[in-house]
Amino acid sequence: MSEETALPWPRVVDPSAGSPADLMARVARGDADAFAQLYDLMAPRVYGLIRRVLRNPALSEEVTQEVMVEVWRTATRYDADRGSLASWILTMAHRRAIDRVRSEQSSADREQAVAAASSITEYDEVAEAVTTNLEVEQVRHCLSSLTELQRESVTLAYYGGYSYREVAELLDAKLATIKARMRDGLIRLRDCLGVTGR
């Protein structure tokens, strides 16, 4: 059906450094200096997200290392037509983090349960700590525009690392409902984040 390439956010480019895509092209050709720049650009996001999901700093560091090395190893396979570089890398990071959650369920169980109970509060705390960051404010604002069920479904899965079945259990809702709320919550988030408000 539709083939739109959407979410029309302008890429942010440091004119002195070349675009992330240019950087990535150099990385794909084996340029270690370019990779070091890419690391500076992406590692905080990778580490932040992984730590958000896994919580354990040492483990998060280890998984961040795996992901960044994987970015290097598979750089030639990145296709800018299929999404932004940040999206490609964070998708990889999130997936790795989730794999760890699922494979190390036993050690993580307790922490995760605690995290789940307070996911929204914690989100606010995290956001509070960096209120100078416009993007964080925007994300927080947009999250608050979701219904509670949408927001919980999205954040428990994304930040909490839960499967939709686990989310349904935690929120005491039907599986189909949770699947639908994850989707319409993300759609609303997408639309909200796509608004400049100017």
Partner 1 sequence: MTTPEVHALTGPYVLNALPEDERTGFEAHLADCQSCSAEVAELREATTKLGTAVAADPPPALKARVLAEIASTRQLPPLVKPEAPAPVPIRRKFNRRSFFSLAAAGLAVAGAGGIAIDQYRENSRTRQENEQLAALLAESDAQTVRGNLKSGGQATVVMSPAKDRAIVLLHNLPKLPADKTYQVWLMDKSRDMHSVGLATTDQSKLIQGGIVGKIALGVTVENKPGATEPTLTTATVIPMA
Binding to partner 1 in span 36-75, by CB under 8 A = 36, 39-40, 43-49, 51-52, 57, 61, 64-65, 68-69, 72-75
Question: Counting contacts by CB under 8 A, is residue 112 touching partner 1?
Answer: no
Q: Is 186 a binder of partner 1 (CB under 8 A)? A: yes
Binding-residue pattern over the window 144 to 173 for partner 1, x denoting contact by CB under 8 A = ----------xx-xxx-xxxxx-x------
Residue written as token pair 């929120």: 171
Helix, coil or strand: residue 195:
coil
Closest approach of partner 1 to the CB of residue 19, in Å: 7
Q: Which residue type occupies 158?
A: Y
Name the helix (H) or strand (E) containing 47: helix 32-54
- By the 8 A CB rule, do 116 and 166 touch? no
Residue 117 interacts with partner 1 (CB under 8 A): yes or no: no
Q: Is 120 in the site for partner 1 (CB under 8 A)?
A: no
- Shortest approach of partner 1 to residue 55 CB, angstroms? 12
Contact between 92 and partner 1 per CB under 8 A:
no
The values of phi and psi at residue 93, to 5°, are -65, -45
